[in-house]
Structure 1
Amino acid sequence: MAKPNALHTLAELAQNDTEAAARELGRLQGLRTQAENQLNQLTQYRHEYRERMQAVAAEGMTSGRWHDFSRFLDSLDHAIRQQTTALEKAEADLLAGRSRWQNNKRRVNSFDTLIARADAREEKVAARREQRTNDEYAARLARDNASRLN
């Protein structure tokens, strides 16, 4: 393996960025799941409240009580719209976070490729150097053997 150099330092920094992006991606996934769960709870609660309202209405209710039920349903609808918006934002944030992580991962892979190529070049140079040394040694032995024979 090659000695540490700027390329290794950059690769390490890119790896750190990728790990940070992965942690952030996990956090964003948690926020998205939380937003979805809250929306599902609000929607379920609205459905149950609407059924309760219909059951009470079937037995008869005053206009004031009907108005109270309607107002509360309106506030639930408003909360559902807000939570839907929050979920959409959480999904957009998650997509952006995933994109950041993917870009960082590609960067790490690029540095790994560059390092592997540099290592391969270095190994090739070392192999040529060793071959040249061996060739020189073999030639010297051949010369020495030839001079001894003469």
Structure 2
Amino acid sequence: MRFDDRIVGAALVLLALFVIWQGQQIPSVPGTTFGPSLMPILLGLLMAACGVAVFIGGLRAAGGVPLVDVSVWKGRPRALITAAWSILGVVLGIALMPVIGFPIFGLLYAVPLMLLMGARLVAAVPVALVVVLAAYFTFKRLLYVPLPAGPLTFLG
């Protein structure tokens, strides 16, 4: 599937506006010149600028190109299932992660995705295990992001 750059650029600008709006909701720290909202707002402005550049590039190259082209997926159901799992997995993660925790959900999401992308099970499981645990401990211990452990409370 290919989306025209006009759609991608517009979506990036909309996402940037959402980031800026959410960044403004972060409360400021008393006595500081720049609060924690500065970085999301700056990133949102950069995202918006990139989105505008992509949109303008799409306008210049438009020349009768369809906005969405699904012909590349014709006869490739595995690619369609992979794309669907990528999106569905994120939605499932929002619902399941508080219950089963990040490490278990990460494995349940990553291993099937890797298999759909052509990896062998013998390689997919250890790679997913290492990546998920590394991400969990990086966010939990180094960045102090409170990721849920689920039933694996010993991971802390």
TM-score, normalised with respect to structure 2? 0.33
User: Which structure is higher in helix share?
Assistant: 1
Relative contact order: is structure 1 or structure 2 higher (C-alpha 8 Å, sep ≥ 6)? 1
**Which structure has the larger Rg over C-alpha atoms?**
1
